[in-house]
Amino acid sequence: MQNELFQSTDQTPCLNFWQPSNWPVAAGWNELVAEFLSSETGRILAHSVKNRIDAGAVIYPPSPFRALELTPLDQVRVVILGQDPYHGAGQAHGLAFSVPTGVKIPPSLRNIFKEIAQETGDFAIAKRIDGCLESWAKQGVLLLNTCLTVESGQPASHAKLGWEVLTDAIIRKVATRNRNVVFLLWGAHAQAKQKILQDHASVTGEHLVLCANHPSPLSAMRPPVPFLGCRHFALANQFLRERGLDEINW
């Protein structure tokens, strides 16, 4: 049954049914997700996605809430915001910037690895062939796309369906509920979420917000803040270390 739900006719994992009950989430997220799904926006979103599936659209990823499944709310220490899932076959698996093991590493993720290699001095990371970032998610890095589904070959195709109401609420929840979180905002789309952080910062602890250009090859080296050379991964770990928190093994 699981394969039937999550496999398209060409065996590429995709979303064949709108069934949120099959998309588990970790502790702390259940109430927020349930409230969204029962809201008018959530119902309109469900109707829109169901209609696209019925029309034959191939939609990724097969499990839109994967980031919430792997990273419980109370364990979030770093938030990395993406825009929408990869739209190529087999790439998206519910974690921003990540691809499943065995899938070719996209250019943006390759630049992320290059930056980590430069910061850490471990230059083998730049040549890494496994683009799965589940190990980050399990350490408390919330890899959140602001839109959680996309149609094959059509970037931003679900950008206006209502997902950002949920993901804005997720960002707000982390900012108000947790202490000492690092927010990595790469590119204009992610940086637009700074307003949420300013309006809903935790009253019990400060956060660190770091901004740079998107890691895409088109912008990674451009001003005003090039991604390559931003030192965000080292700065994030320094922030965590100074507060007695475990660093992230990037």
Residue linked to tokens 């990869």: 86
Say what percent of the chain tops pLDDT 70. Answer: 94
Tokens standing for 106?
Answer: 């996209």
Asked whether 61 and 55 are in contact (CB, 8 A), the reply is no
Strands, E assignment, 193-237 = 208-212
Return the pLDDT at 204: 54
* Mean residue pLDDT across the chain: 94
Tokens standing for 244?
Answer: 């007695």
Of the residues 10, 74, 84, 199, which is catalytic? 84
The band of 38, judged by pLDDT with boundaries at 50, 70 and 90, is very high
- Per-residue pLDDT reduced to its tens digit, 166-178: 999 999 999 999 9
213 has pLDDT over 60: yes
Is 84 one of the annotated active-site residues of the chain?
yes
205 has pLDDT over 80: no
CATH fold label, 2-242: Uracil-DNA Glycosylase, subunit E (3.40.470)
Return the pLDDT at 224: 94
Return the pLDDT at 4: 31
Return the pLDDT at 200: 74
Taking every pair of Cα atoms in the chain, the longest distance, rounded to a whole number of angstroms, is 53
Residue spans of the domains in the chain: they are 2-242
The model scores a pTM over 0.85: yes
215 has pLDDT over 70: yes
